[in-house]
A and B are shown apart, each in its own frame.
Chain A
Amino acid sequence: MPSPLVDVLTRNNVTVSGAGRPIVFAHGFGCSQDMWRLVAPHFADDHQIVLFDHVGSGGSDLSAYRPGKYDSLEGYAADLIEILDQLDLRDVIFVGHSVGSIIGMLAANRDSSRFSSLVMVGPSPRYVDADGYTGGFTQADVDALLDGLDANYFGWSQSIAPVIMGVPEQPELVEELTESFCRTDPAIARHFARVTFLSDNRRDLAEVRVPTLVIQSSDDVIAPLSVGRYVADRIEQSTLVVVPVTGHCSHLSAPAAVIAAIEDFVS
């Protein structure tokens, strides 16, 4: 149940447009709802389009960030359920990219009543290799990513962080920041990276009861083809579509193929 004291729609920077069968888009690690700008508008004619930012990303309310709550993907899944409850959406087509698709899966596993189908773009239930499972990465790789995040936010946190806290003499910096794509708080990005790349949600796949489409890039180092197959194999009612594209963000590099796959699946 959403708490009446929390404005869920502000917290998650939820934007709603269009009318028709609802289609909800969830972004992955590293970006924000901006990620869907080449895909979402296509559905505007006959769908209610719902976009949101995970708490800590994009235009979400950073003050809502609670490290304990967001130390697992369940915390993000709880937020998603609250958004669907708040908007009272039913028969939802959920489209998630990367970790966003895992969050959607967890939400649907908790309460499938609002979901009619799941579309998982580049999902990986576990990034770190384990006995008998190849996620494609080692713990050391993830540590290197965390170091890389620190290094890349080094300049960011020094020069831009004071702006967020309100330095009135440089309004143009605030402007620039709010205009920039995929903005995110460095400390939260670091925690989100940890949670994203060190989670293990393999066992949750078998619990999915919603028809699911897995959209897999033919060449993706983040979520390799073998992982996409693993996901599709373990979800009961699932279809795997391999899009001939390089990279993890097929919704950006091959939006037409992603749109076609979604339309095929839901029609």
Chain B
Amino acid sequence: MPPAGEATFEGLFQSAPFGYVITDHNDVIVRTNTTFSDWTHFPPDQLLGRPFRDLLTAGAQLLYETRHLPVLRLQGYANEVLLQLVTARGTVLPILINAASVDVFGEPREVRIGVLDASSRVSYERELLATQRSAESMAARVTVLQNASAAFASSISEVEIAETLSRIVADALVASAACVALVGASGGLEVRAGTDLLSGLIREDPQLLGATVLDFQKPVTVNSTEQDQERFPGVVAALREARLQTVAVFPIMDDGIPIGVTAAFFGRERSLAASEDEMVLSVARQASQVLTRMRVQDQLAYAAQHDQLTGLANRAAIRDRITLGLAAARQAAQPLSLMFLDLDGFKNVNDRLGHHVGDAILIEVAKRLAASVRASDIVGRYGGDEFVVLCTSAGPREAAAISRRIHTEIRTAFSDAAEFEISASIGIATSEASENIVSIDELIGAADAAMYESKRLGRDRTTLATL
């Protein structure tokens, strides 16, 4: 081979349309071609003796050290690795490298790296990726919202809705856990689903994280920063205790009124994007709408079964219970007693002191009745000043014992009408276990007639009906 040929080959190598770099096994550059030096704008002597990874951006170094070098060492080569190189002018050059390790006696001796300029590939890929990612995150949000409405639609109880919301929040935010707490009857927050990993903190912390969110009506995220340490010292300490680093709490809003909170717990420090906050708030809004609808239905169902003034079972409900009670008593071969009760002297109170005092007396009578009967008995208001007590598994003797307690209770003076004498006339009808089938109307008719018999005999007494 003539020297000119070698020179030509050397020239081809030096000015090839790709960079060529040789490093030792410690990544230190020992040789490069002119193309590489031209691309990086480093004169060759500034490249030699330098680790290749020093030429990379910090982000590319992370990939190079944690992924590329191990693969190269283990596999002997690593192809098509995309990296970012910082030139002597400070500009960033995307490069695609193929690297091969050359071993001598099984020991890595040097690494040969082919370098391509990947500027154009990178720019279109970046656009593609950005588009793909924004489309994906949009699609993911739409999916979350759609799945949420389907899941809420099939939920049949408050707890189920809370569980669904808790699960969606945990999944959507990639949280370690989540919980849902709703404002309860007492006005405080009660955890209805999920686990409050801060053990009661959402409710009971002196700094009242949950209450703060209810007040703000905006999401609050607590990390373990010094600033948060000052604002929510209890929360930060509890996070540490639970091996967590962040908690995010969102209000559940119903038509401008906060009805609860949902909290997401994270094992590492997280700051949520505005889009994530918005997504959770909107799922929470969906949940609150279903909750409200359900609560209205519950109220209607309650109203259909209860007397508005006293809260006792109303006439329709008590008839249902008698029907069920008769069937169950027959099945179990047990007696069932029905007590009819009419107040004595009530009309006088109503006429003299007005309806509002009359109403107060009725409410008080309801309370006293409930206090006089056994836990298994059912008290209802049949209408006006007429009440009923359904005593399960009770014959005449047991029912009479209950009626004695009732007489004593009702005779006790009422504070709203202390100067008036009020008592109860009671009639009891019993369906005995051994008897023939008694209908609901027979039972009610007999108890009612016995009650009138008590009235006729001079009031404030109990009469047992014979069926």
Which residues of A pack against B, CB within 8 Å? 28-31, 34-35, 37, 67-69, 71-75, 98, 110, 136-138, 140-145, 147-152, 154-155, 180-182, 191, 195, 197-200, 203, 219-222, 245-249, 252-253
> Does B374 sit at the interface, judged by CB under 8 A?
no
Number of cross-chain contacts by CB at 8 Å: 147
- A34-B74, A68-B175, A142-B59 known; A28 vs B66 contact (CB < 8 Å): yes
Measured in the bound complex, the distance between the Cα atoms of B266 and A198 in whole Å is 13
Is the pair B58, A144 in contact by a Cβ cutoff of 8 Å?
yes
How many B residues touch A, CB cutoff 8 Å?
45
Is the pair A247, B27 in contact by a Cβ cutoff of 8 Å?
yes
Measured in the bound complex, the distance between the Cα atoms of B75 and A142 in whole Å is 26
Interface string of B79-98 (1 = CB under 8 A from A): 01111100000000000000
**B270, chain A: closest CB distance, angstroms:** 8
Measured in the bound complex, the distance between the Cα atoms of B126 and A191 in whole Å is 19
Contact among A74, A151, A200 for B82, CB-based, below 8 A: A151
Closest B-chain residue to A98, C-beta based?
B66
- A154-B125, A182-B70 known; A75 vs B82 contact (CB < 8 Å): no
17 residue pairs from A and B, CB less than 8 Å apart: A34-B70, A37-B74, A67-B171, A72-B268, A73-B267, A74-B176, A144-B84, A147-B126, A148-B82, A151-B122, A181-B70, A181-B71, A181-B74, A182-B70, A182-B74, A203-B240, A252-B69
Measured in the bound complex, the distance between the Cα atoms of B174 and A75 in whole Å is 12
Which residues of B pack against A, CB within 8 Å? 25-28, 51, 53-54, 57-63, 65-67, 69-71, 73-75, 80-84, 122, 125-126, 129, 170-171, 174-177, 240, 243, 245, 266-269
Is the pair A141, B62 in contact by a Cβ cutoff of 8 Å?
yes
- B contact residues around A73 at 8 Å (CB): 267-268
Is the pair A145, B59 in contact by a Cβ cutoff of 8 Å?
yes
Measured in the bound complex, the distance between the Cα atoms of B243 and A43 in whole Å is 34
- A68-B174, A147-B59 known; A246 vs B65 contact (CB < 8 Å): no
- A contact residues around B174 at 8 Å (CB): 67-68, 71, 191
- A contact residues around B125 at 8 Å (CB): 151, 154
Is the pair A252, B84 in contact by a Cβ cutoff of 8 Å?
no
Closest B-chain residue to A136, C-beta based?
B58
Is the pair A71, B268 in contact by a Cβ cutoff of 8 Å?
yes
Is the pair A71, B122 in contact by a Cβ cutoff of 8 Å?
no
Closest B-chain residue to A199, C-beta based?
B268
